[in-house]
Amino acid sequence: MRHGKHRFLLSFLTIPLILYAVFVISPYVQAFYLALTDWRGVSSRQRFIGLGNFTRLLHDPVFWAGLRNNGVMLLVVPLATILFALFFASMLNLGGRRGRAGVRGARGTSLYRFVYFFPQVLSVAIIAVLWQFVYTPNAGLLNSVLDAVGLSALRNSWLAEPSLALWCVMAVIVWSAVGFYVVLFSAAMQSIPREIFEAAMLDGAGRRATFRRITLPLVWDNVQVAFIYLGIAAMDGFAIVQIMTVGPGGPDDATEVIGLGLWRNAFTYGKFGYASAMGVALFFLTLTLAALTLRVSRRDRVEF
Amino acid sequence: MATVMPKPAIPGAGHAGGAVPAGRPARRLWLRPFDMFCHAFLLVWAVLVVFPLLWAVLSSVKTDGEIFTDPWGLPVTVRFDNWARAWTEASIGRYFMNSLIVVGGALALTMLLGSMTAYCLARYEFRGNRLIYYLFVGGMTFPVFLALVPLFFVVEQLGMLGTYHGLIVVYTAYALPFTVFFLTGFFRTLPGEVAEAAFVDGCSHAGVFFRVMLPMARPGLISVGIFNFLGLWNQYLLPLVLNPDEDHYVLAQGLAALAVSQGYRSDWSGLFAGLVIGMLPVLIVYAVFQRRIQAGMTAGAIR
């Protein structure tokens, strides 16, 4: 069975490796070099300028606006999404009547889980277009619902209001993400042995105590993963901002994100070196964040 | 390592505690209002999710006038001609077909190349095995934005900007890391005896892979296939940058372009129809394969 092994490996691995090297590895490597040049797309004029792009980044108000908004999203989006998802998941899996039959989920669990997951299968582009219509001042869903329930005072031109626009963007991200984490946390909660909850119940633990002392520690690994994924999502936000907001990125850079600035610098202004520098900055930010999350949220793993 | 020991008496568990007489369900009266609030909240979120989607479906069969004057009333007559108009005049039909071609091609290629790579990495010892594996795993951790600018020029140099095959190979290359990672784990868990027997019977290496191992890996292939399909179908950033040719727009890209272009604003009902055309197929697929899809999507997160 040994003969021909190397020929076989070669025939199987060559094409995928070439594809991967050309379209994934080489761009990533090139990006680090391009970030140190003032390249504007014409191959003859590619000057090495060291860290020049990075010092310019530090004085770029639009980049700072993006950094600030991504920062706000980073504080709000993961926390809000995870709190919602944890609440829903524990309601759906453990929130039912606690009779003698043990711990069960609320009624209609599978229907809820089915519905909550909807946004996850929709394209971000479709979600962004849909929500643009929801926020539209004149015939948009939000304002007309407010009218219908007698809250016309709250009517707003949501995306045109600098103080509200970013919150509107974050609401869409949270709206679309919660369902996924409900399903993720549900799976984790389902794998906790029922006896643990029953024992706690017999000992007289209330719902909140059960959640804090049993459920949360036992799904902590998943919460940690969720923080990292949502953190990465919060550092992005490109598609929704680019499609939904005015400008895009407006009003007044209120919804500017780093990815949008990168895209604009590269494909509108043709500042490819500068855009690459933004990519490198984004990379290191994401990396730092992931490392920090893992460190801060480290807890003893609970075996069961 | 810590083990969880629920304290015997937790403050707040209150009067109901162990005082419930045997034979009666241990329900606590004081929880009732809180319970109701929680259930109401579950319902509110479900409505929040469904309402915008229903509203889009409803608006897609109304006239523009109805949309403006009565944003959430029922239409006088159900106008499916909006859908027809979106499909033909607004090119949604063409975008849909483009998406099918690109995603279909990329999915087939990803599954084939991904399973081939994963199989070699999982079942064969050779020099560089670990290196290749970590190259793929590493690829999952980098943000696509970092590669965006050089990627554009790589694709341009190869003359593949705005072509189907260009998008297909790029989609494939970026879907490979997760596919390889997931399937390598999967191939490792498969028993080796059947493959040994096939070798003894004179089967070639490739024959064992295609006739023995691939069929055995079906559950894993389906999970990762679903994951990839949704990921590729919903791709926006890559086509936006690499696919400037309007004739080759994929659905997400085309819809976004329609929504952004001011001229189309006059035809709201048509745009809603386009949105619904973009949403429905995926939602129907999801409704049919609900469990599989949820499992496939979350499998990616539990590494």
Which residue in the set A208, A229, A266 is minimally distant from B12, CB to CB? A208
List, for residues A243-253, the tens digit of each pLDDT value: 988 888 878 88
Q: Do B301 and A229 touch (CB under 8 A)?
A: yes
Which residue in the block uniquely carries the two structure tokens 């023995």?
A: B212
The domain defined by A60-296 folds into MetI-like fold (1.10.3720)
Q: Where are the domains of chain B?
A: 104-244
Largest CA distance in chain B: 79
Q: Do A272 and B49 touch (CB under 8 A)?
A: no
| CB count in 10 Å sphere of residue A297 | 14
CATH 3.40.30.10 given to domain B104-244: no
The residue of chain B with its CA nearest to that of A9 is B120
Q: Where are the domains of chain A?
A: 1-26, 60-296
The pLDDT value recorded for residue A2 is 54
| Burial bucket for residue B19 (CB in 10 Å: 0-12, 13-18, 19+) | exposed
The pLDDT value recorded for residue B29 is 45
List, for residues B139-170, the tens digit of each pLDDT value: 888 888 999 999 999 999 899 998 999 999 99
Q: How far apart are CA B141 and CA A286, in angstroms?
A: 9
Q: Do A239 and B237 touch (CB under 8 A)?
A: yes
List, for residues B208-257, the tens digit of each pLDDT value: 889 888 998 888 898 888 888 888 988 899 999 998 888 899 999 988 88
Q: Which residues, at least 6 apart from A258, have a Cβ–Cβ distance to it below 8 Å? A: A63, A66, A67, A70, A235, A278, A281, A282, A285, B145
> Looking at beta carbons, which residues of chain B come within 8 Å of A129?
255-256, 259, 271, 275
pLDDT at A61 over 80: yes
Which residue in the set B149, B206, B301 is minimally distant from A275, CB to CB? B149
Q: Do A9 and B124 touch (CB under 8 A)?
A: yes
Which residue in the set B12, B252, B294 is minimally distant from A209, CB to CB? B12
Which residue in the set B38, B233, B290 is minimally distant from A114, CB to CB? B290
Q: Do B143 and A25 touch (CB under 8 A)?
A: no
List, for residues A8-21, the tens digit of each pLDDT value: 898 899 999 999 99
pLDDT at B56 over 70: yes
pLDDT at B13 over 50: no
The residue of chain B with its CA nearest to that of A259 is B145
Q: What is the ipTM of this complex?
A: 0.85
Q: Work out the minimum CA distance from B25 to partner chain A, whole angstroms.
A: 5
List, for residues B22-36, the tens digit of each pLDDT value: 444 444 444 567 677
The pLDDT value recorded for residue B99 is 93
Q: Do A214 and B147 touch (CB under 8 A)?
A: no
Tell me whether B49 touches chain A (CB under 8 Å): yes
- Residue A261: name the closest of B245, B152, B148, B162 by CA: B148
What is the percent of chain A where pLDDT is above 70?
Answer: 91
Between helices B290-299 and B268-288, what is the axis angle to 10°?
A: 90
